Structure formats: C-alpha cells, structure tokens
Amino acid sequence: MSKRRWTIDVALIIIVVALGVLVYLRLERLFKSWRDNDGTPASVETTDIEGDFSPTLQARVDIAKQEEVPALDFTLQNLEGKIVALSDHEGTAVLVNFWATWCPPCRAEMPLIQAFADRHEDDLVVLAVNVGESETVVRQFIDEHGFKLTFLLDPSNSIAELYQVRGFPTSLFIDPDGILQATHIGELDEALITAYFQEIGVRK
C-alpha cells in the first residue's frame, strides 16, 4: 500500500513540475512579445466595433500598406437596386468605406469624404458600404445630409466579413491597378485622407 502511495506521490510531483515548466515558457514568450512590441503585448486588441479610438490610434495606420495585394472583388446592390461590382471601376482609384449610421466617427468623416470625392470626381470613386442596416435607414440618413457618394448595401455583413472588418469606420484605399495599398481603421482627417490618396495616385 505504501509503495502504491509513493508511486502516486511521484506522479503528482512530475505533473506539477511539468505544469510549472509550461507556465514558465508561456510567461517567457509573453515578456518577449512585450519587449518586441515596445511594451505593448501582441495580444492586446486596439479597436472595437463602434470605432472608439484613442487619439494616438486615430493617427496611425492599423493595417500597413500591402505589397501588391489585389483587392478582393465583390458585388453589392446600390440604393436604386442596381448591382455594382468593385471590378467595374478598374483603372480608377477607389476608396471603399465601411460605415454605419449609428457610428459617430463614420458620420463625422462623411462630409470630408464627400468633399474629396467632389474635388477628384474624374479620378476617384468612393464606394460607401453600409454594413448591417436597411435601405430605409440608409436612405433617410443620406437624404437628411445630402450626400452623393455611391452607397452600397451590405445587410448581411458578407463583404465586411470578406475584408475582415474589425471596426467602424474602415477605409480601403485601392489604386487604379486594383491593388489594395492601405487599410485604415478609425475616423479619417484631412491629413490622413490626403496622404492615403497620394498612395493611390490621387493628388490635389
């Protein structure tokens, strides 16, 4: 009986030691990640679905400029019931803006996007993709504010999921060759949108 108890005790000690080693290795990786990211753990999420960003996050690119990554084509219905494809605009710079009427940063940046679209109507297309809302809600918002962008409806979130949208607003900057040059999560200001447009060949 004592021999059996001794065997169980040894097994428990081995298990405890093994768990201790695993915990140590996990902590070591965590601290290494912390050091490599200038004190920010790699697992920390920096955005939420409502677009609640700190000032420092608004001023940086959350997804850096891509290297020759073609934008994924998609088709959605506009407010007139017509099917619009991203590929319809090949040869022209495109801003795809994922937004919602309930999102304050989305509402705040929309006049700026409209102003840039008006200024560059010959060499820029803006596809404003509303995510998860009905045509009635979107049309009421547009009529209230007088926007004239190309508004598309994504009521099932299918295109937002295709592009792995993590927060609103999210803006995709696509050059005339159909290459996704940058993705910005959060509200755009004039300096940011000017810099992004320069990346896709749209200049003042």
Residues 142-150 have a mean pLDDT of 95
pLDDT at position 10: 67
Per-residue pLDDT band for 68 (boundaries 50, 70, 90) equals: confident
Alpha carbon distance 18, 1 (integer Å): 26
Winning range, highest mean pLDDT, from 4-18, 50-64, 131-145: 131-145
Per-residue pLDDT band for 43 (boundaries 50, 70, 90) equals: very low
Residues 150-174 have a mean pLDDT of 96
Nearest to 61 by CA among 203, 198, 193, 182: 182
Winning range, highest mean pLDDT, from 20-34, 56-70, 95-109: 95-109
Please tell me the least confidently modeled range out of 38-52, 75-89, 117-131, 178-192.
Answer: 38-52
Full-model pTM: 0.69
Strand order in the sheet with 180-185: 83-85, 75-78, 150-154, 124-131, 93-99, 170-174, 180-185
Judged against a pLDDT cut of 70, whether residue 2 lies above it is answered with: no
Residues 15-41 have a mean pLDDT of 54
Taken in order of first residue, the domains within the chain and their CATH numbers are 1-44 (no CATH), 55-199 (3.40.30.10)
pLDDT at position 56: 39
